[in-house]
Amino acid sequence: MELWYTEKQTPNLSLSCKITKTLHMEKTDYQDLAVIDTLQYGRMLVLDGMVMTTESDEFVYHEMISHVALNTHPNPERVLVVGGGDGGAIREIIKHSTVKEAVLGEIDRRVVEVSQEYLPSIARALTNPRVTLEIGDGIEHVRRNKGKYDVILIDSTEPVGPAVGLFSREFYQDVYEALTPEGIMVAQSESPFVNQDVIRMIHQNLTGVFPIKRLYLASIPTYPSGLWSFTIASKKWDPLQVDPANIRAIDTKYYTPEIHFGGFKLPQFVAELVNE
């Protein structure tokens, strides 16, 4: 018997993985949550029918949402992840010895608990003494903590349902105010092949909020098109002006000092998306 999981990535495109079994399925207060075991990519976390992360390619997303900003800031001490309940971004953040407190602001407690049970290689840092779990509305947490954070990472699902607010100009203004005067934010910003409207929307909504904003790319096989974008916005520090000698040596599988800069080298059609 063959079992396959299929994600309809768009109405006209789907990706399927052969699975050995379902490890967990439930309907939480916020979403359908599943962990399945795939032969191609290992264990896979699925929310509302969309692949969130897999054991075999999660390193790309989690390293790339974290290390570009953390190496752009000269001394990141307090870092917030909005969303990201699987803990992968937190695991990367605490690789930086400068970080004194990494806060996870995840709305769905069950994502955290199920990740800790079934995806320990991703979630393992959530019990680190430098990590604080804040189960609740990330937007509210950002509003309540003005001037607190050096770096804020928006590790959200796509802009549908509860995540819509995480892509609005009002939220970006709140993020700006939750940051220190040298603060930096990064938002996952979808695929430049499939979600050009989202990239443009994020870019427009950040315009006038942060003085510096840039798009960078990374390859994530289990996301639509395999090419993913991140948008970094900064008050003072430009990720392209980092001195390579100051990039902290950390154990990674994707990110390197060369990739730090290489990710910003955009294909022509992507550059045209964000050139105003």
Contact set for a copy of itself, span 16-35 (CB under 8 A): 16-18
Minimum CB distance to a copy of itself, residue 253 (Å): 5
Of residues 37, 57, 58, 158, which one binds a copy of itself by CB under 8 A?
Answer: 57
Residue 3 found at the interface with a copy of itself (CB under 8 A)? no
**CA 134/CA 115 separation, integer angstroms:** 16
CB nearer to a copy of itself: give 172 or 255.
255
CB-based contact 101:93 (threshold 8 Å): no
155 is catalytic: yes
What residues does 44 pair with on adjacent strands? 36, 54
177: tokens are: 């105010």
CA separation for the pair 118, 67 (Å, rounded): 25
Shortest Å, Cβ 4 to a copy of itself: 8
Residue 39 near a copy of itself by CB under 8 A: yes
Give me the 247-276 binding string for a copy of itself, x by CB under 8 A, dash otherwise. Answer: -----xxxxx-xx-xxx-xxxxx-x-----
Alpha-carbon distance of 154 to 177, in angstroms, equals 15
- In whole angstroms, the minimum distance from the beta carbon of 153 to a copy of itself comes to 20
Torsion of CA 113, 39, 67, 212, to 10 degrees: -100
Long-range contacts of 261-266 (CB under 8 A, 24+ apart): 263/64, 263/68, 263/216, 263/217, 263/218, 263/230, 264/214, 264/215, 264/216, 264/239, 264/240, 266/215, 266/217
Residue from 120, 161, 208, 226 in contact with a copy of itself (CB under 8 A): 226
Tokens 């006038």 belong to 208
Q: Is 46 in the site for a copy of itself (CB under 8 A)?
A: no
Among 221, 235, 236, 273, binds a copy of itself (CB under 8 A): 221
**Residue of the chain from 3, 23, 24, 40 that contacts a copy of itself (CB under 8 A):** 40
Whole-number minimum distance, CB 58 to a copy of itself, in Å? 13
Nearer CB in complex with a copy of itself: 5/167: 5
Nearer to a copy of itself, 4 or 243 (CB): 4
| Choice between 180 and 256, CB closer to a copy of itself | 256
Angle at CA 100, nearest 5°, toward 98 and 105? 120
Q: Looking at beta carbons only, is 91 or 141 nearer to a copy of itself? A: 91
CA Rg, the chain, in Å?
A: 18
Active-site residue, from 29, 155, 197, 251: 155
- Closest among 203, 160, 153 to 178, alpha carbons compared: 153
Task: Show which residues are catalytic.
Answer: 155
Residues that bind a copy of itself (CB under 8 A): 4, 6, 10-18, 38-41, 57, 60, 193-194, 217, 219-221, 224-227, 252-256, 258-259, 261-263, 265-269, 271
